[in-house]
Amino acid sequence: MTESKPDTGHEHDRQHQHHGHQPQRPDRSARDERTAHAGHAEPWGFASLAIHAGQEPDPLTGAIVPPIYQVSTYKQDGVGGLRGGYEYSRSANPTRTALEECLAAIENGTRALAFASGLAAEDCLLRTVLGPGDHVVIPDDAYGGTFRLFAKVYQRWGVDWTAADPGDPEAVRAAVRPGRTKAVWVETPSNPLLGVSDIAALAGIAREAGALLVVDNTFATPYLQQPLALGADVVVHSTTKYIGGHSDVVGGALVVADAGLGERLAFHQNSMGAVAGPFDAWLTLRGIKTLAVRMDRHCANAEAVAQLLVAHPKVAEVRYPGLPGHPGHEIAAKQMSGFGGMVSFRHADGESAAVELCGRTRLFTLGESLGGVESLIEHPGRMTHMAAAGSPLEVPADLVRLSVGIEDRADLLADLAQALG
Ligand SMILES: *Cc1c(COP(=O)(O)O)cnc(C)c1O
Kindly report, residue by residue over 159-194, the tens digit of the pLDDT. Answer: 999 999 999 999 999 999 999 999 999 999 999 999
* Helix axis angle, 118-129 to 259-272, nearest 10°: 110
pLDDT at 393: 78
CB 266 within 8 A of CB 258: no
Distance (Å, whole) CA 348 – CA 369: 24
Q: Tell me, what's the pLDDT at 392?
A: 78
Q: Which helix (H) or strand (E) holds 165?
A: none
Average pLDDT of the segment spanning 185-206:
97
Rounded Cα distance between 126 and 182, Å, is 10
- Answer yes or no: are the C-beta atoms of 419 and 400 closer than 8 Å: no
Pocket probe for ligand 1: among 221, 236, 241, 395, the residue whose CB has the most ligand atoms within 8 Å is 241
- The CATH number fitting domain 293-420, selected from 3.40.190.10, 3.30.70.790, 3.90.1150.10, 2.60.40.1220: 3.90.1150.10
DSSP letter, residue 60: T
Beta-bridge partners for 333:
none
Q: Is the CB of 146 under 6 A from ligand 1?
A: yes
Q: Which of 99-103, 203-207, 273-277, 387-391 has the lowest mean pLDDT?
A: 387-391
Characterize the bridge pairing of strands 376-378 and 399-403: antiparallel
- Percent of residues, the chain, with pLDDT higher than 90: 84
How many helices (H) and strands (E) the chain has is answered by: 15, 12
Q: Which amino acid is at 148?
A: R
Q: What is the pLDDT of residues 371-389, one digit of tens each?
A: 999 999 999 999 988 877 8
8 Å CB contact between 218 and 236: yes
- C-alpha of residue 189 to centroid of ligand 1, in Å: 13
The stretch 276-301 carries a mean pLDDT of 98
Measured in Å, how far apart are the chain's first and last C-alpha atoms? Answer: 53
Range 325-334 burial, b when 16+ CB lie within 10 A, else e: ebebbebbbe
Indicate which residue's Cα is closest to atom 1 of ligand 1: 238
E-strand ranges in 326-381 read: 342-347, 365-366, 376-378
- Write down the mean pLDDT value for the chain: 90
Contact 91, 275 (CB under 8 A): no
Q: Would you say residue 202 has pLDDT above 70?
A: yes
CA of residue 368 relative to chain centroid, distance: 16
Task: Assess contact for 252 and 281: CB atoms under 8 A.
Answer: no
Q: Region 120-149: what's the mean pLDDT?
A: 95
Distance 81 CA to ligand 1 centre (A): 39
pLDDT at res. 41: 61
75 is catalytic: no
Catalytic residue at 216? yes
Q: How far is 385 from 148, CA to CA, in rounded Å?
A: 10
Contact (Cβ atoms closer than 8 angstroms) between residue 194 and residue 380: no
Q: Which of 90, 96, 148, 173 is the catalytic position?
A: 90
The residue whose C-alpha atom lies closest to atom 9 belonging to ligand 1 is 118
- Residues 208 and 181: beta-carbon distance below 8 Å: no
Active site residue 58: no
> Which carries the bigger pLDDT value, residue 33 or residue 228?
228
Residue closest to 30 by CA, chosen among 9, 68, 56: 56
Q: Catalytic residue, from 69, 74, 143, 242: name it.
A: 143
Alpha helices (H) along 77-231: 94-106, 118-129, 144-148, 169-175, 199-209, 221-224
The full DSSP string for 7-25 is GSSSHHHHHHHHTTPPPP-
**C-alpha pair distances (Å), 396 with each of 356, 382, 390:** 16, 10, 11
Beta bridge partners of 160: 135
Give the residue extent of every domain in the chain: 11-288, 293-420
d(CA 284, CA 200): 29
Confidence label for 112 from pLDDT (cuts 50, 70 and 90): very high
* Annotation says 165 is catalytic: no
The fold of the 11-288 domain, in CATH, is Aspartate Aminotransferase; domain 2 (3.40.640)
Q: pLDDT value at position 42?
A: 65
What sign does the dihedral 139-140-141-145 (CA atoms) show? positive
